[in-house]
Structure formats: C-alpha cells, structure tokens
Structure 1
Amino acid sequence: MKMYCRDCEQEAEFYPYWKTRCKECQRAKQRAFNRANPDYLKAKNQRRRARLLALPNDLPPQVWTDIQERFGGRCALTDSTDISLEHVIPLENMHLGTTIENVIPLDRTLNMRKSSKNFIDWVFEPEIEALIDEDKLNDLLCYLAEVNGLSVDDYLDFIYWCERNKRTEEEVKSATKTSVELFKESQIKMNV
C-alpha cells in the first residue's frame, strides 16, 4: 500500500496495519530506539532465545532493570559496570529459562568466559575465583536462593541437579511443574 510518510513526507510502500511511517523511516526509528534502550533489547533477545527453546521467557525489561538496580548497576560478582544478562542455569540445560529466578548482571568478559558452564564450578576455577569478590558471591547466592524459594544449600544442590537432569524440548513442552518443583520432589524421594 502506498501512502505519504509522516517523517520523510515521501510517497512510499508501507507496512500493513495502518503504519504512518514508510518502511525506511520505521526501520530507522526502531534502530534509534534500540540504541537508546539497550536493556530493553537485551531482555527482548533473551526472552526470544528462551522462547525458541520452549523455556519460560517472562522477564519484562523493567524487571531486568530492577535486577540490575538490585546489584547497583554493577556485575553481581565484581565492580564492573560493563554488564550483560547472564543465565545462571544455562539455557542448554533446559531449566528456568529467561526469568527473574535465573538471570543476573555479569561482567561482559566473565559472561563470555562462563559460556554454558556450571555456575559453581566456573566460579571456583582459579583464574575466575581471583577476579570475583567473595562477599558479592555470597550475596548473589542468597539472592538467587531467595528468588527460587530455596535455602542457599538447596540452591547449590539445585544448580547441580539441573546439570545432571538436562531436559529435551519435548520434556519442557509437556512439563506441568517448574524445575524448582521437580527438584524439590526429587529431594523428597531421596530422603525417603
């Protein structure tokens, strides 16, 4: 459909659904928005990544901003302000997804080095352990345990449980219980 763009005032091809900007102006507006709102874009991309794996992906941009503010706009393990969204339980394990229970702000370089490793094993690698603040690690573990409704000891067990009990996409799609609920059930069975 051809109309006049409200930005460039040229007659041009428009996206459907009554847009008021031509395709070029709409793309430019979206690029400018993305540059001005990198946290929004990060959260959106991580939600999409989790959604493609059929994992929970209910992390609104404002919640990601709140999580960053909880850690003072800094890495949860160091004082770095060059942060990115990190999944504590890697998406590859098919547990938790992009949710408040599974994301933290982490220094960009550390995030790349962690990749999809087990969080606890990675933290105690000698070259990583030397870079992190032990008090920040303890605070982070308390925070993660709390948002997951677990004690710190149970949360540490949960991290290893997720690694040992990786799920398939079909298992995730057919699941009627959260990963934390499944973990708690497995703990009860072990103690019986």
Structure 2
Amino acid sequence: MFGWRKRDIDRLNKINISKVELELTHSRDEVQNLEKLLHQQVKEFIEQKTKVELELTHSRDRIRSLEALSVEHSKDLSEHKRKLDSIGQILCDISNEVKKDVTSSKTETTIGEELEEIDKENREITIQVLKLETIELKKRLLNYVEERQQPLDHFEFALTNYKNRDFTKKAPKIWGYNRYDVEKHLPRSVKNNKNCLVWARIQKEFGYGCAITGVNHYDFEHFIPIHTGHGGAYEGNIIPMKWQLNSSKRNKNPFHWFREMQIKDPSLSLKRWNNLIEYLAAKNDLSVEEYFEFVNWCFTNPRTAAQLELINSPSIELWRDSKTIIK
C-alpha cells in the first residue's frame, strides 16, 4: 500500500514539474515579446527625440535670424528718426530765419509791392498758358474739321454729282397724299414687331443700335420715304434710327438731310453713314454711286397711289428702264 502511494506521488510530482516547465516556457516567451516591444518603443522614442531636437535647432535658427532682422530694422528706424529730427530742426531754423528777415528788413509797403509784382507775374503766366491752350484747341479743331471733311474714295463720284446738281428745281409734289393708299402698293416684307425675323436680322446687323449714332433707342425707319411712292418696307430700305433723327428726317432726301445735319451737329459719324450706304447699296445689288443715283431718282420721279395701281413695278426696275431710255 505504501508502495502504491509512493508511485502516485512521483507521478504527480512529474506532472507538476511538466506544468511548471510549460508555464516557465510561456513566461519566457512573454518576457521575450515584452523585450521586443520595449526595444521598439525605445527606438521610436529615440527617433522622436531626434526629430524634436532638429525642430528645436531650426526654431532656434529662425529666432536668431528674426532677432537679427529686428535689430537691423530698429537700427534703420532709429537712423530714419534721427534724419527726420535733423530735417525738422533745419526747417524750424529756416522758418525762424525767414521770420526774422521779414520782420527786420521788410515793411508793409514793400511787402505790398512784392505781392503786386507776384500778382502781375501770375497774370502773365496765366495769359501765356491760356494762349497756349487756345492755340492747341485751334489746332485740334482744325484737325477735327479736316478729318470730318475728308471724302471717302467711293463717294467722290456721288459728291461731284451732288455739287453740280440744280437744287433750284423742285421735285413734283404728290397732291392728296395718303400714307395707307401708297403704302399698300409697296413691298412689305419687314414688319415692326418682335416676331419679324427680317427686322430682327436688320437690328442685329447694326448691333441693336441706331444705324447712324449707335444709341440703343431707335425707331423703324424707311430710308426712302413712303411719300415718294418708292421704297417700301423691305430689307434694303428699312433701318434702325434714333427717334430724334427720324423726326428730323421725315420725308426729306436722306443725302440732303444728312448734309444739313452734319452742319448742325458735326459729331455725327461720317464713317457710320458711309457704312450704312454701303449696306443699303449691297442689299439692293447696286454700287454706292448707283444707289445714290437711284435714291435721287425716286425723289425727282415720285408716284401717286393712282399711278401705283396702274403700274406697280419695282422702283429699281423703273429706274433702270429710265436709264436705258435716256441713253
């Protein structure tokens, strides 16, 4: 019985020893792992320390540079302040000397005489300046007039005809003129409303402004007036025109009217007028000279409503026929 107990005790001791050894191995592994973690944390701490030391050195360098700059700026400021103080002192001395000189050497009469002389000099200077300004203005006006009076090459023929024309001969009047009776026989492809595509195209052509001035408030204008019995509301005769110019033009010959308006208002652009005539001539398949002749022919050969009822041929065809008959 005692032998059995001894064997059991030995076996239990062996089991306990194996357990203790196993626990020791586990504890060794844990210790090794902890040592690795500790080494890694120490390494990271050293790296962070080096980074912090580098940043500290950089910040120290920056602080030193800023301190050096501040010292330099303070020196510059002190230097400027010293210079300003010296300048102020000099000015004070000068003003004191001037006051002393004025009070000691000059009486009221001499000061008055000097003031009069200064006034005279100022007047002479202002007169000379005004003379120079008037001369400059005269030059500018002459240049402006010369520029305004320079005729374009393609208008030389038309202008010579205009100058040689006998204006004492008046165009025959249309007695009993009724706008509707005449207008109903003329072309009406353009309408004064927002839905008309042709009118929209004409406005776009002139930049949605008056054809002569460029202002953005304008009327629907017939270049050749309806009262002549010619023209009508078609793309080669309708233009956007400022309402003041429209009311001034009324039933006049547009070429005569523009010449009169240029005398009254020299600011009217001759370039815009020339561009307008070129545009209308191109729309009527005519040259500028031919279009000038055609417009004047319309005014010298007006048609009544009765004549339009009998012969309703296009005005350009009648004008061309009249040219062939004259030849």
| Normalised TM-score (structure 1) | 0.69
Aligned counterpart, 1:127: 264
CA distance in 1, matches of 2:213, 2:298: 25
Distance 1:174 1:146, change over 3 A: same
Measured after TM superposition, the shift of residue 63 of structure 1 is 0.5
Give the match's secondary structure for 2:274.
helix
Check whether the contact 1:78–1:131 (CA below 8 A) recurs between aligned residues. no
Question: Higher strand proportion, which one?
Answer: 1
Aligned residues: 143
Q: Which residues of structure 2 form unaligned runs of 5+?
A: 1-178
Distance 1:131 1:86, change over 3 A: farther
* Cα deviations by residue, 1:47-82 (Å, 9 ceiling, x for unpaired): x95875422212142101110100001111112111
> Which consecutive segments of 4 or more residues in structure 1 shift more than 3 A?
48-53
CA distance in 1, matches of 2:315, 2:273: 23
Aligned counterpart, 1:58: 189
Give the residue type in structure 1 aligned to 2:225: P
The structure 1 residue matched to 2:239, chosen from 104, 111, 135, is 104
* Cα deviations by residue, 1:147-179 (Å, 9 ceiling, x for unpaired): 111110010011110000000112212225210
The structure 1 residue matched to 2:213, chosen from 66, 73, 78, is 78
Check whether the contact 1:50–1:57 (CA below 8 A) recurs between aligned residues. no
Distance 1:67 1:135, change over 3 A: same
CA distance in 2, matches of 1:54, 1:176: 7
CA distance in 2, matches of 1:134, 1:49: 34
Aligned counterpart, 1:181: 317
Measured after TM superposition, the shift of residue 127 of structure 1 is 1.4
Give the residue type in structure 1 aligned to 2:275: D
Measured after TM superposition, the shift of residue 89 of structure 1 is 0.6
Q: Which residues of structure 1 form unaligned runs of 5+?
A: 1-47
Give the residue type in structure 2 aligned to 1:182: L
Give the residue type in structure 2 aligned to 1:185: D
Check whether the contact 1:84–1:108 (CA below 8 A) recurs between aligned residues. yes
CA distance in 2, matches of 1:59, 1:124: 28
The alignment's C-alpha RMSD in Å is 1.8
Identical positions, percent: 34
Measured after TM superposition, the shift of residue 101 of structure 1 is 1.7
CA distance in 1, matches of 2:180, 2:189: 12
Distance 1:188 1:166, change over 3 A: same
Give the match's secondary structure for 1:145.
helix
